[in-house]
Structure 1
Amino acid sequence: MNNSEELRLNKKLDGLRLMADEMPIAIIVHRVADLSVVYMNKLGLGTLGVDLQELRTIDSREYVSRYFHEEDDEDYTAKIQHNIKHHPLKSSSFFQQVKTKDGNWQLFASSTKIFLEDEKQQPSYLITTASPLDPAHHISEKISRLMDDIRFLRNNAIVFGKLTAREIEILKMMALGLSSTEIAKKLFIALTTVDTHRRNIRQKLNLKNNYDAVRFAQAFDLV
């Protein structure tokens, strides 16, 4: 960073600090080059249970691994980078779950945009606002559940892809609570064949109980 850019950054940060700690949202400024944090207001720091001096000493990878789901971060970071390149005036909005100082996950509605450009008019800093959502609100519960389902889908897509068409059909019926006898009658196949399919499904998906079968069926839109 040259002196001119540093002066412009400090001027913008000084203006931000005048009101940032009064806002009911977390406000974070990142460096585009490595996504390291250069500023965070009191609400954000209080949520994480860290001070700005310490936060500035950790790199972006440790920052993500400490406070966020890494797979989710990859998704919205890719979205932000795409918008920076192709739609520089557009904000990137997303939901994110943040690990708070007490070890719990809290849902935020966040939005990121360019905060400062360098002398070549290339983005050099980003600003993110993160509004905490009431965990007791039904919308928060639905969004958190949806994010969990997306994470489950992402993590299990490969093993689910190992199922045959018949096994997928039987997995759906397992999730609906049908017994092996009922499945055999419905598909006009032998009971022993159904039992073999069920055993193969349990092994491929590492199912421990019927709840696991339901989870897979729901995540992959079988029920």
Structure 2
Amino acid sequence: MEVSNERNSRVLSEKIGKFEELDRWLPGVKVIQRIEPAENLYLCQRGRDRYGLSQSFFKHLPMVEFRRQIFDAQDPHTCLIGTYSSHELYIRYSSADSPGEAELISVEIVKETEAGLGPLRVIQIFPSSLMGWVPAKTARIVSEMAFSKIHRRKFQQLTRRGREVLAFMVKGMSAEEIADRLFIGVNTVNTHKRRVREVLEIKSNYELLQYGLAFDLM
């Protein structure tokens, strides 16, 4: 058992050494985690500087704190933009304290079997300074994705007819125009509109527009 543990440690040290070599060439924060059992294995120097963590403290960081400080795929401002093979690609759009910034995050599952190390999760967080190529339109799309993620539960509470009425509302159509399109009475349309605003807690036309953009109703 002791020999096996020594071999595991040696193999892991070799892999981390290769990762540190890569760190010299690629910017951003790099993390290695064991998935089962859950364990933090490595945080690069840039990550230690950014989050104010020593390597030993990082290894004992509870997963709830890891998600709060470093990466949480369920965070409203973290949006999955693509998957391929064993990779997932996210954009983490800025919160209120850092407007206009975004980070590109790669999450790879390495199904490592050598010396019982895997599977491993490798996370790379690329800095916002690399995101100058992201035009304003992309930033807007990511913002819409975040809005959809936050408000999806409310949107799903609408009836089919409520969603139809909402789609016409975001296009600026009057109650009379909506009634003609749906072959229902104007009073019925106004009832649906009132219910839509109540369910979605809409207080302004801007919020109405946000729903239209986020849920592709335009």
TM-score, length of structure 1 as denominator length: 0.72
| Distance change (3 Å), C-alpha of 1:199 and 1:75 | closer
Partner of 2:102: 106
Of the three residues 26, 38, 41, the one matched with 1:38 is: 41
Q: How big is the shift at 1:64?
A: 0.9
Q: How much does 1:161 deviate? A: 2.9
Residue 75 of structure 1: how far off its partner (Å): 8.7
Cα distance in 2, alignment partners of residues 70 and 126 from structure 1: 13
Structure 2 CA distance for partners of 1:111 and 1:164, relative to 1, 3 Å: closer
1:68 paired residue number: 71
2:11 aligned residue: 8
Question: Does residue 138 of structure 1 match 2:134?
Answer: yes
Tell me what 2:161 maps to.
166
Aligned alpha-carbon RMSD (Å): 3.6
Give 3-state SS (helix, strand or coil) of 2:30's partner: strand
1:81-92 → structure 2 map (5 Å cutoff): 90-92=85-87
**Alpha carbons 2:79, 2:90 under 8 Å: kept:** no
Greater displacement, 8-17 / 47-56: 47-56
Q: Percent identity?
A: 22
Task: Supply the distance in 1 between the matched residues of 2:171 and 2:93 (Cα, whole angstroms).
Answer: 34
Q: Aligned AA for 1:95? A: Y
CA displacement at 1:142 relative to structure 2: 4.5
Among 157, 174, 177, the alignment partner of 1:179 is 174
Change (3 A) 1:144 1:67: farther
Equivalent of residue 205 in structure 1, options 177, 200, 206: 200
Q: Is the 8 A contact 2:79 2:91 kept in 1?
A: no
Matched, 1:25 2:51: no
Distance 1:196 1:25, change over 3 A: same
**Which residue number in structure 2 is paired with residue 86 of structure 1?**
none
1:59 corresponding residue in structure 2? 62
Q: Deviations over 1:15-42 (max 9, x none)?
A: 4334524532332211222544321223
Mean Cα displacement is larger for which, 187-196 or 213-222? 187-196
**Cα shift at 1:182:** 4.1
* 5+ residue gaps, structure 2: none
SS of 1:197's equivalent? helix
